[in-house]
Amino acid sequence: YWTFDENLGWTQMPSRNFSYRVLDGDLVTVDVNSRGFRDREHALEKPRDVKRIVAVGDSFTEAIQVNLDETYAHLLGEALGRNSASSWESISLGIGDFGTAQALLALEEYGFAFDPDLVVLQIFPLNDLCNNSIELEGLCKSGNDVVRPYFRYEDADLVPAYVQPIRQRLRKYSLTFRLVDGHFRYWRHTQDPPMQRELDPVRLRNLGFGALPPL
């Protein structure tokens, strides 16, 4: 249920919910709030005597495999509340397949507006390495890399970068192109799954991986 987002690359479709059974048979309910994150709605103004956690990361933070009260962000909030004079409110900004650059953008666009007392950055030290570098695009076999926002480090500053800069502008400003492009990328994902694509050995060697693929 991901949908294109011009700043973050993608989010969940806002204000949706679905339920499904995981492998052990338990029923999991996933509610997506109006901002497109797997979480309940949160007012921007922080209540009196309440402290806030904002958690950013990828699918480990999104955690659609468990119910919301079983996610690490909410369990952490409950644990802090039991050992504090204040109650803690947990806010999740995790989206599956996000890299750390996207976590930063989510924090800047949404997270800081909640006036957090604690920010938790969750990192998965495998595909996050690819997700954070445009030079490694495609090596972790994600179909999302073509819309993923990256950063380059130039002149002591972070500069936004995209794999397809022209198409990215069309996705941002043309609804027609966005719909056609989305259907095409979905078709390609089903007909030519990224996880089944062979990696270019010459590119791997030039990047210093030798014969060993990143995954």
Look at strands 2-5 and 9-12 and give their pairing. Answer: antiparallel
Averaged pLDDT, 1-14: 94
Closest by Cα among 170, 76, 79 to 162: 170
Is 90 exceeded by the pLDDT of residue 129? Answer: no
User: What's residue 211's pLDDT?
Assistant: 60
Q: SS3 of 164, please?
A: coil
User: What's residue 11's pLDDT?
Assistant: 96
Averaged pLDDT, 167-187: 94
* Strand runs labelled E in the chain: 2-5, 9-12, 17-21, 27-31, 50-57, 87-94, 118-121, 150-154, 157-161
Is 90 exceeded by the pLDDT of residue 6? Answer: yes
User: What's residue 127's pLDDT?
Assistant: 87
User: What's residue 205's pLDDT?
Assistant: 84
Using CA atoms in the order 93, 98, 100, 101, what is the torsion angle rounded to 10 degrees? -100
Report the chain's mean pLDDT, rounded to a whole number.
92
Q: SS3 of 120, please?
A: strand
User: What's residue 213's pLDDT?
Assistant: 59
* Contact call for residues 12 and 1 (beta carbons, < 8 A): yes
Averaged pLDDT, 151-164: 92
Task: Give the least confident one: 117-121, 159-163, 211-215.
Answer: 211-215
Grade residue 145 by pLDDT with cuts at 50, 70 and 90: very high
Is 90 exceeded by the pLDDT of residue 25? Answer: no
